[in-house]
Structure 1
């Protein structure tokens, strides 16, 4: 529809609207016939007043014009549906306006024009409010650009308070919500944005990224595909699709997608970083390090590329680890132990480790010592799978009786089917040397264990495992454990924990061997990380049953850890715990609610 100007600066988009220029003087340019009609109505109906605009219409146009609407229904009032349609038409024509409606307070609603008497004053008032509102969006954008996200969020919220359909403010708030971990709120904003701008590819790409963060990789990939169908050379969509596929667990397909995207954009740092991460997850740190170095060369200031390169290089460097532990229980069993290992690359992606350890256990007047060493290798199999195999020996030296030297072994397979999922299956042969009495008996345990850990979303995780063991005295043991943790506050997780184990018989050979032991516990875990310092607190309370048919007892535990890290993978930590759980140790003795088991340890890791 055509536009025409009446007087100086008076814009008439169509016959149903009148737009007044800024200031009182613009009223002089209204058509005389309209002024006369309004004055006539005003004389006949003195009870008329101005009606405030709808919330969605209290927005300042960039030209600071005051928009009057001239269409009225037969009863002098507009329907709600008509007001919504008019607001949508205004925005479609190039921006939002400060709308001032002329309504009726009289019975019958025939009087509408008396309010024009105060139109200049209303125009000045509305424009005075509109001017700062129009400046809030640029101010919020500037705060966002300089990294002051708190001020940016406040600015965008003020913009939305005046215009709930402002696309830019909604988009930036959705981004800020996703960065703050408020993924559900971010997705709600993106859904609203998709209704306002259904063809905006930037909104679709950002929404797909947040969907991937929530673990909905299938929907994320589908959204990326819809963007790439229209813009096949969009690099961020290519990177997002490959990342979503990698997070879903299909690392082989993700690697092919990264490489195909790099053929189109060989120097894109995001694509180089993504391929390096995928190769690292596939167990190929050497090749991953090459692509991480290329990403650093293309984008020297990119923090993600720098962190990834440090991580991959740390995985390729030799690493020394040592642990020192001490524990004791209320039955006078105690031990002190130290273990150390050196892990080093053997060429390509093959890594090897040497380990050695020593343990001294006491109980009243008896004591015993065990020590030994061995080695193992770790080899990647591709597609997120690794295998571990090793051999060793352990010397058991009691204070009374002959010493023994059993052979130890380990064989395991670990897989990572998805970014936040892992599973392992392993066999081990170890000396049963937890107490002085067990060192004297010289028992050996052959065990098979299966474990898994799944985190479908950042807010909760599931872990569990189970297995069987065969003791050299002819006894057998089964065990299972499961835990669920859900985040309720930043750093705070709560959830149930359950464990069960049992032995075929109780031969009274110096170890805890109930026909069934079970525990159900409500667990709480709090973790805090500040710079290089970390604190972890965990505790729980529940019920336990020692032996089938025995009465239930109250069970509890408390643990704490304090750590300090430096470099890429260097860390020192102090850990401690106390519990009355009957299954905390394998020592023999009567288990009751008065039983106590205390442990204290030191962990040290140093990259070489």
Structure 2
């Protein structure tokens, strides 16, 4: 007889308490343990399909973790299952969609709410438009709201921010001051003014505004990133980097932190740049330069190493291929003073090696006003014949630049005294001034320029070397840019020039240049094309009226993270 065993009786598992799980997930969120919170929400949704609060809060948490596509799917599901709660889910969906850089889609989600005059939706839409670079539309929406609701603090702050991005710094200051008139010490208004101070070349003024914030607000992420910018402008680059890195764990400002670190890498390194430049003239001269340069952080400054491989050829003359190697150091000497030094060696100047060097001191005299004193010694490598003569030029110079009128105007002036090793001395002066006309995505530029020099005697040294030169002209340009992705510029110049005692003639030229940075990568590409008509010749000639040349430059730059990788 076969006896069948009785099956074991199992006690039914108790159904989890939805309220307890929800409280657990919220506690984890409060501790910023977002991955653990998402696990709890997902467990709830596995038991109670489309649980209203679990679905909504998981979407929120995923968005804070930068998992935008998953968050968007959850918010869309919430809107589909609970259409009566669309007033909650759609604004949240729009915000995450904008964070995913799908700005037009986000604006479309909020359009019905904006049409009904909803304040929050209008503010978010104006913000999303500004993020998308549609500054004029963002500003128009903010100003329309302020016309009906004067003194709305959030719209005034946004208006100031957008005006600052547009380059209208005077109007931006007025918007922030209007906020401070009603709420002295307002954090966002103070930080907005600090940013304007930095752009105007006044880091001390910016630091004073941050110092005026309450201590707790000064410890916030936005204030710390502002202090990082201030530290950089005051020559404290290690402290600037440390402040930025300390905020890297805060997911709310991760993009701002990465932008800060990119700025520091551009200023201090590490980066490697490779470029090639080729110039052809109607004199039959062709010059090619392959240039490799690396910059590495060094305390609060940087060390630069470079190599240039030159190829010089001109009809009827032997080719020359001098190679130049340089080592340089740039370092601040305090909040206002900086110094740089560079030494170099050229392996073939007329058959033997020659040295080169450059020294400079920079001083920030006042907001927007900078002075520089420099001295350089450089072999003349302009043409194959110039290298055969083995001459060099020693230059002393004093220069100044002033950016004023809320960064819209600038003046530059420099005076030089140069000594050619062959026995001639030259005194030169350059002056330029101009005005910017900002617009959405770029700016127009217009200005005047002059260049004059006199030499005590003109020597035949294998390159253009007149005894007297005068140029008076105008400049014009335009720039188009898109966030930190790309920028394209066109600059043109034209004016009257006179060489020695000859009659004056019209000289003109232009440069078209562009840069492209790949999102989320350390790579940037750049290119430039320039052409000159009746400009300064390179080879020896007394009459530049028929001179023509064009130059093409291509290159790439690879940024590192602290040290090269």
Regarding TM over 0.5, the answer is yes
* RMSD of equivalent CA atoms: 4.3
Equivalent in 398, 401, 405 of residue 354 of structure 2: 405
Q: CA deviation at 1:370?
A: 3.6
Q: CA deviation at 1:509?
A: 2.0
The yes-or-no answer on 1:516 pairing with 2:464 is: no
- Mapped partners of 1:398, 1:547: distance in 2: 29
Q: What's 1:434 paired with?
A: 382
Specify whether residues 309 and 531 from structure 1 end up closer, same or farther in structure 2 by C-alpha distance, changes over 3 A only.
closer
Q: Is the 8 A contact 1:250 1:383 kept in 2?
A: no
Cα deviation code 1:376-428 (max 9, x no counterpart): 221123436432123334455226xxx4624423223164965x876644332
Report the 3-state secondary structure (helix = DSSP H, G, I; strand = E; otherwise coil) of the residue aligned with 2:247: helix
Equivalent in 565, 568, 571 of residue 524 of structure 2: 571
Q: Is the 8 A contact 1:543 1:552 kept in 2?
A: no
Q: Is the 8 A contact 2:424 2:458 kept in 1?
A: no
Report the 3-state secondary structure (helix = DSSP H, G, I; strand = E; otherwise coil) of the residue aligned with 2:287: strand
Structure number with higher relative contact order (C-alpha < 8 Å, ≥ 6 residues apart): 2
The yes-or-no answer on 1:287 pairing with 2:287 is: no
Cα deviation code 1:495-553 (max 9, x no counterpart): 34533232234523233215123152453445455985x46353536343232664443
Q: What's 1:7 paired with?
A: none
Report the 3-state secondary structure (helix = DSSP H, G, I; strand = E; otherwise coil) of the residue aligned with 1:264: helix
Report the 3-state secondary structure (helix = DSSP H, G, I; strand = E; otherwise coil) of the residue aligned with 1:365: coil
Q: CA deviation at 1:476?
A: 0.5
Report the 3-state secondary structure (helix = DSSP H, G, I; strand = E; otherwise coil) of the residue aligned with 1:351: strand
- After alignment, is 564-573 or 376-385 more displaced? 564-573
Report the 3-state secondary structure (helix = DSSP H, G, I; strand = E; otherwise coil) of the residue aligned with 1:277: helix
Report the 3-state secondary structure (helix = DSSP H, G, I; strand = E; otherwise coil) of the residue aligned with 1:405: strand
- Mapped partners of 2:558, 2:121: distance in 1: 47
Cα deviation code 1:153-212 (max 9, x no counterpart): 96688568xxxxx98798678767866778789778877866765664434544554565
Q: What's 1:226 paired with?
A: 181
Specify whether residues 240 and 227 from structure 1 end up closer, same or farther in structure 2 by C-alpha distance, changes over 3 A only.
farther
Equivalent in 354, 364, 375 of residue 305 of structure 2: 354
Report the 3-state secondary structure (helix = DSSP H, G, I; strand = E; otherwise coil) of the residue aligned with 1:589: coil
Q: What's 1:52 paired with?
A: none
Q: What's 2:416 paired with?
A: 468
- Mapped partners of 1:196, 1:561: distance in 2: 44
Once the two structures are superposed, the pairs formed by residues 185-584 of structure 1 within 5 Å of their partners are 200-209=152-161, 214-216=168-170, 219=174, 222-223=177-178, 225-229=180-184, 232=185, 234-258=186-210, 261=213, 263-265=215-217, 268-300=220-252, 302-312=254-264, 317-346=269-298, 348-367=299-318, 368-383=320-335, 385-398=337-350, 403=352, 405-413=354-362, 415=364, 424-447=372-395, 448-452=397-401, 454=403, 462=410, 464-472=412-420, 473-482=423-432, 484=434, 485-487=436-438, 490-491=441-442, 493-510=444-461, 511-512=463-464, 513-521=466-474, 523-527=476-480, 529=482, 532=485, 534=486, 536=488, 538=490, 540=492, 542-547=494-499, 550-566=502-518, 570-583=523-536
Q: CA deviation at 1:286?
A: 1.8
**TM-score, normalising length from structure 1?**
0.62
Q: What's 2:556 paired with?
A: 604
Q: Is the 8 A contact 2:275 2:555 kept in 1?
A: yes
- Mapped partners of 1:551, 1:522: distance in 2: 22
- Mapped partners of 2:334, 2:213: distance in 1: 21
- Mapped partners of 2:158, 2:315: distance in 1: 66
**How many residues are treated as equivalent by the alignment?**
457
**TM-score, normalising length from structure 2?**
0.66
- Mapped partners of 1:489, 1:256: distance in 2: 30
- Mapped partners of 1:300, 1:337: distance in 2: 45
Structure 2: tracts of 5 or more residues without a match: 1-86, 99-104
Q: Is the 8 A contact 2:360 2:374 kept in 1?
A: yes
Specify whether residues 251 and 331 from structure 1 end up closer, same or farther in structure 2 by C-alpha distance, changes over 3 A only.
same
Report the 3-state secondary structure (helix = DSSP H, G, I; strand = E; otherwise coil) of the residue aligned with 1:265: helix
Report the 3-state secondary structure (helix = DSSP H, G, I; strand = E; otherwise coil) of the residue aligned with 1:604: strand
Specify whether residues 208 and 319 from structure 1 end up closer, same or farther in structure 2 by C-alpha distance, changes over 3 A only.
closer
- Mapped partners of 1:522, 1:254: distance in 2: 32
Q: CA deviation at 1:287?
A: 1.3
- Mapped partners of 1:445, 1:601: distance in 2: 25
Report the 3-state secondary structure (helix = DSSP H, G, I; strand = E; otherwise coil) of the residue aligned with 1:389: strand
Q: Is the 8 A contact 1:249 1:416 kept in 2?
A: no
Cα deviation code 1:217-245 (max 9, x no counterpart): 7646644542443xx5x543443344344
Q: CA deviation at 1:451?
A: 4.9
- Mapped partners of 2:208, 2:449: distance in 1: 42
